[in-house]
Amino acid sequence: MCNLYNVTTNQLAILQATRAMIDSLGNLEPSLDIYPDYKAPIVRNTPAGREAAMVRWGLPSSRQALFQSAQKRAEKLRAKGKDVDFIELMRLEPDGGTTNVRNTSSKHWTRWLGVENRCVVPFTRFAEPDPASKAEGGRTPNAWFAADETQPLLFFAGIWVPQWESVRKVKEGMITTDLFGFLTTEPNAVVAPIHQKAMPVILRPGDETETWLTAPWEEAKRLQRPLPDDELMLVLPPMPAG
């Protein structure tokens, strides 16, 4: 499950590659490492036109997942002798968000698979933890993947949800914000040795991004497939300057 990626590009390249008509990115930094719950650039369909915007990564989790989390919290509170208003506990249950979507037949996700909720997510490389490279007692390092050593601009097939009310972090409390995530699929032969369960759904600029943003679901869903093996490789992230 991809929970870290980088986009090293400029916003003009994103706008041109996606034919976005509205630029709401502000001043986009030339290189961004994106972690869950960070804001990241996406290109989305809106009533006003195709828009490039900064949106928070992590779609609403399912009600069942939040229910289970709230149940565990309620049990801990009751064990301490505290009264529990479970309805209120459920309403305020923190939801850090679901970054990746695999099962597009789930009722939780089908409501957001129409053109109006589709987006593309620019990236130049993405990471998966590499347990085989972990030193004893150390942190698990990341393996990085890109189209080639030049790390050109590609896109994840994403969906976005407007103005969702939830508690993302306890210290923030209830907020209302736009959210996004992207689809995953079975890994290709490049990713599978590192991460056997899944890889992001990757779109090439042009026909594939256009199909994802405009086609009926029966056509668009065919893009939920692994990128061909010869179009992805292991790369090293650039060394910091200085």
Whether residues 105 and 83 fall in one domain: no
| Edge-to-edge strand list for the sheet holding 125-129 | 31-34, 5-8, 125-129, 142-146, 233-235
Residues 191 and 145 in one domain: yes
For residue 172, what pLDDT is reported? 83
| pLDDT value for 174 | 85
Give the count of domains, the chain.
2
Q: Check which CATH number belongs to the domain holding 214 and give it.
A: 3.90.1680.20
For residue 240, being part of any structural domain is answered with no
pLDDT surpassing 80 at residue 144: yes
Mean predicted lDDT score pLDDT of the chain: 89
At residue 76, the pLDDT reads 74
Residue-number span of the structural domain to which 10 is assigned:
5-60+95-235
241 falls within a domain? no
CA distance 51 to 25: 9
In the structure, what pLDDT confidence band is assigned to residue 175 with cuts at 50, 70 and 90?
confident
Dump pLDDT digits (tens) for 184-233.
Answer: 999 999 999 999 999 999 999 999 999 999 999 999 999 999 999 999 99
- Tell me what pLDDT residue 242 has: 46
Would you say residue 88 has pLDDT above 80?
no
143 and 174 belong to one structural domain: yes
Q: Quote the longest CA-to-CA distance of the chain.
A: 60
* Domain shared by 44 and 147, yes or no: yes
Please indicate, yes or no, whether residues 87 and 117 belong to a single structural domain of this protein: no
The verdict on 109 and 65 lying in the same domain is no
DSSP 150: T
